[in-house]
Amino acid sequence: MKLEGSYDVSAPRQKVWDAFLDPRQLKKAIPGCEKLEALGDDEFKATLKIGVAAVKGTFEGKVRLSDKKKPDSYRLAAEGSGGPGFMKADTVITLTDIEGGTRVSYSADVQVGGLIAGVGQRMLGGVSKMMADQFFNKMADLLKA
């Protein structure tokens, strides 16, 4: 499944870059994130509680940041598994200056399997978009604070 989008944040690009790479900020903004702890440089262990329709559960996984081109772009690779199934995502995040702030664009390839994949691609796409909206809106709120 391919997911793409962009969000405008009213903060300078360097501040946005710093926030998007700060585990404390990310933990607050990622929907369902219960734990996000560093394993080493640019690698984190995450625990998320996620539900799609009647399929709910806890995912344990890893997030790795790479290809960092400060303050323009980076790659975020995530994989996790739990009772509802598994997911893998490879996302490129790009930051560009716009009038009054920064545009954050993302392009993700997502693979989902197990029970959670059984809810159907259309529903998964909608839920994924909703979670992305929640994440970016929360990050924008945190950057205003």
114: pLDDT strictly greater than 90: no
Encoded amino acid at 131, one letter: M
- Distance of CA 140 to CAs 9, 18, 73, 86, 145, Å? 6, 13, 18, 29, 9
Give me the pLDDT at residue 121, please: 65
Angstrom CA distances, 113 to 11, 71, 83, 95, stand at 37, 34, 11, 30
Q: Which amino acid is at 21?
A: L
User: Using one digit for the tens of pLDDT, what is the confidence trace for 55-102?
Assistant: 788 999 999 999 999 999 999 999 999 988 898 999 999 999 999 999
Residue-averaged pLDDT of the chain: 90
Domains and their CATH numbers in the chain: 2-144 (3.30.530.20)
Instruction: Scan for tokens 């980076």, then name that residue.
Output: 74
pLDDT of 122 above 80:
no
63 vs 61: CA distance, rounded Å: 7
Rounded distance, CA 42 to CA 65, Å?
5
pLDDT in tens, 5-51: 999 999 999 999 999 999 999 999 998 899 999 998 899 999 988 87
95 vs 23, 41, 70, 75, CA distance in Å?
A: 18, 21, 9, 12
Asked if 74 and 66 touch (Cβ cutoff 8 Å), the reply is: yes
